[in-house]
């Protein structure tokens, strides 16, 4: 609104029979507008907009569609008299300002979903550790935007959505699906994904016998959470010695969780409790699933509000524009890359190899994992969705602009995954550590090829313990790799994990443990012009007998340094029995802990960058 060239002080000096009129610009249109003296308005006076009301100490602008009323106390009350237009006509062609608005709008919806999930979840793992992710997807199941949750979840969820789409051509309003199948877009069995197809609420009645072409979902919302126990041979569903996925818990593939807005409580409970290795706390699983459904419902309502304001055609157009913008951002990154390769091994000798070939003509790149080890005999196999998630994450981090992590980032990239290898397994290969450990190995291998930073600790330090009564899972922070511009951070979760540790008070309140020590492992980061971040030391004393399983890495292979930087220190795992006996363990093991026993873990440091 533009009041033009100044205001004559005499306008408000005394009551006038006819107000002065001047041109004022409202929403880009010049309107002949009265300037009214406040002193001349008695109780009950009404001034319709557009108008400008002047007095000695204030200027009140009454916009078109509004009205000013003087009440009995002499107060000026503004009221809307014309409803806002049902939709904001901004057009479907891309506009830079609107693109930025929609970028943040889509991300904010995913963040609101996460807040609902955190507030309504029952388990410590989701409510306190925030081991979950929420995102929205287009009608084809491609990722549009996410909240800054867990990268390993976000980059792989799209495959889960597409799997549900393929298997359910007749989805109806009120349906919600659940799955954790690693070979249909899942990661590992504890990560359970709830998927809600969203229909236009103005479309045909869901009771129609045959859904027509116009009743297809207009988008999808999904939430993925790590459940503390989904069955399996050990409490916590992360057996250190599993060799098949069936030993790791209940496998859920394309299960209808909500039908016609009814949560199928009895049916999901049967699925969770009557498997060969059933869930140990189905009530908690169901409570968390209900929280995930609530998060999806929040995403649905918020997206519908956006559609009501802008129109479905505009929202769909900007879903595409957001992806196109991400695609161009990654192409600009590729413009600065050169061909490169790197091979990185785990403690047991199994390795990930990558060769990145740049095509400058079409500004694209091939990311070829040929040379990666074959199927792992244990549980370090990572479903192909995890490799996609790792590549998506790495190339998104190379983009300076603040854009959502979405499917557009992958359009300039071609992935080559050898058949039946450690990062492209098939059923029934065990996968529990592939999601948490091999994913980190893939990321560090990619960064090693690109040469942009030293390796992070390269492990999530998965510590899982429990019995038939309690189950708990945590990942423990360590050192981040240094870059050309900065030291690595100490005591942080890095790369494919973004969870936090449970507060000590909550941990000791909910479980029979005492956290005796948790500190930075000073000096464990690699040296260099910029130092790698330091790892941590964590000691937990147990007041109840439990079975302990640990899945970790870099207990013998040091996290590499870059550009002449030194490697970070390896981690250590040990049990200190109540009688003082100390037992050192390798990277992967399981053991029994009696009352009074202590588990102590030292996490690796990050690699340094550059020579001193």
Q: What is the DSSP string of 555-602?
A: SSSPPPPBTTPPPPPPPEEEEE-TTS-EEEE-SEEEEEE-TT-EEEEE
- Whether residue 96 is predicted with pLDDT greater than 90 in this model: the reply is no
pLDDT at 398: 93
**Weakest mean pLDDT among 87-96, 213-222, 274-283, 509-518:** 87-96
Lowest mean pLDDT among 263-267, 383-387, 515-519: 383-387
Q: Quick one: pLDDT band at residue 19, thresholds 50, 70, 90?
A: confident
Helix (H) or strand (E) holding 391, with range, is helix 384-397
Confidence of residue 532 (pLDDT cuts 50, 70, 90): very high
Q: Name 195's bridge partners.
A: 177, 222
| Average pLDDT value for residue range 451-462 | 97
Q: Is 143 helix (H, G, I), strand (E, B) or coil?
A: strand
> Is 3's pLDDT higher than 90?
no
**Residue 146, pLDDT score:** 81
What pLDDT is stored for residue 92 in this prediction? 64
pLDDT tens digit sequence for 68-88 = 999 999 899 999 998 766 555
Q: What are the structure tokens assigned to 221, written together?
A: 């919302």
Please, which pLDDT band fits residue 376 given cuts at 50, 70 and 90?
A: very high
pLDDT range class, residue 12, cuts 50, 70, 90: very low
Q: Give the number of other Cβ atoms within 10 Å of residue 214's Cβ.
A: 10
Angstrom distance (rounded) from CA 426 to CA 431: 10
Taking all residues of the chain, what is their mean pLDDT, rounded to a whole number? 91
């Amino acid at each position: 609104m533009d009041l033009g060239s100044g205001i004559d002080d005499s306008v408000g000096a005394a009551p006038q029979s006819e107000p002065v009129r001047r041109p004022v610009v409202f929403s880009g249109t010049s309107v002949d507008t009265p300037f009214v003296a406040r002193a001349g308005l008695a109780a009950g006076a009404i001034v319709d907009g557009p108008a400008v009301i002047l007095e000695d100490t204030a200027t009140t602008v009454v916009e078109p569609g509004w009205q000013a009323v003087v009440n009995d106390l002499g107060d000026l009350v503004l009221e809307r008299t014309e409803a806002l237009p049902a939709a904001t006509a901004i057009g479907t062609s891309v506009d830079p300002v609107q693109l930025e608005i929609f970028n943040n709008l889509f991300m904010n919806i995913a963040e609101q979903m996460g807040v609902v999930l955190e507030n309504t979840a029952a388990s410590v793992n989701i409510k306190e550790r925030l081991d979950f992710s929420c995102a929205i997807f287009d009608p084809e199941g491609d990722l549009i935007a996410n909240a800054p949750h867990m990268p390993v979840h976000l980059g792989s969820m799209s495959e889960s959505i597409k799997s549900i789409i393929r298997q359910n051509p007749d989805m109806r309003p009120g349906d919600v699906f659940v799955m954790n199948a690693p070979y249909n877009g899942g990661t590992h069995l504890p990560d359970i994904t709830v998927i809600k197809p969203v229909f236009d609420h103005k479309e045909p009645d869901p009771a129609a016998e045959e859904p027509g072409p116009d009743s297809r979902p207009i988008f999808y919302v999904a939430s993925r959470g790590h459940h503390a126990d989904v069955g399996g041979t050990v409490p916590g569903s992360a057996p250190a010695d599993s060799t098949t996925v069936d030993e790791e818990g209940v496998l859920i593939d394309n299960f209808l969780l909500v039908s016609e807005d009814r949560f199928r409580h009895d049916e999901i409970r049967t699925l969770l409790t009557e498997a060969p290795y059933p869930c140990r706390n189905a009530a908690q699983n169901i409570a968390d699933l209900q929280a995930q459904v609530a998060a999806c419902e929040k995403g649905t309502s918020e997206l519908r509000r956006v559609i009501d304001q802008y129109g479905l055609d505009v929202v769909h157009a900007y879903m595409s524009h957001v992806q196109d913008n991400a695609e161009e951002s990654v192409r600009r990154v590729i413009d600065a890359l050169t061909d490169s390769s790197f091979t990185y091994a785990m403690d047991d000798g199994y390795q990930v190899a990558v060769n990145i070939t740049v095509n400058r003509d079409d500004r694209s790149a091939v990311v070829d994992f040929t040379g990666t080890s074959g199927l792992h005999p244990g549980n370090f196999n990572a479903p192909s969705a995890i490799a996609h998630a790792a590549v998506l994450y790495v190339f998104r981090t190379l983009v300076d602009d603040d854009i959502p992590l979405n499917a557009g980032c992958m359009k300039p990239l071609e992935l080559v995954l050898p058949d039946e290898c450690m990062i492209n397994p098939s059923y029934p290969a065990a996968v529990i550590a592939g999601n948490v450990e091999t994913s980190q190995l893939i990321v560090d291998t990619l960064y090693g090829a690109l040469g942009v930073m030293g390796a992070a600790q390269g492990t999530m330090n998965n510590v899982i313990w429990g019995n038939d009564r309690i189950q708990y899972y945590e990942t423990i922070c360590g050192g981040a790799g240094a870059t050309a511009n900065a030291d690595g951070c100490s005591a942080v979760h890095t790369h494919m994990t973004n969870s936090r540790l449970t507060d000590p008070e909550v941990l000791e309140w909910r479980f029979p443990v005492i956290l005796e020590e948790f500190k930075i492992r000073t000096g464990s980061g690699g040296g260099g012009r910029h130092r790698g971040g330091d790892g941590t030391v964590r000691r937990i004393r147990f007041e109840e007998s439990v079975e302990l399983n640990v899945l970790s890495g870099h207990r013998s292979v040091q996290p590499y340094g870059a550009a002449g930087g030194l490697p970070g220190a390896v981690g250590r795992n040990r049990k200190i029995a109540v009688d003082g006996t100390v037992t050192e363990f390798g990277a992967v093991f399981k053991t029994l802990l009696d009352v009074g026993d202590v588990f102590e873990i030292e996490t690796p440091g990050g690699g340094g960058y550059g020579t001193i």
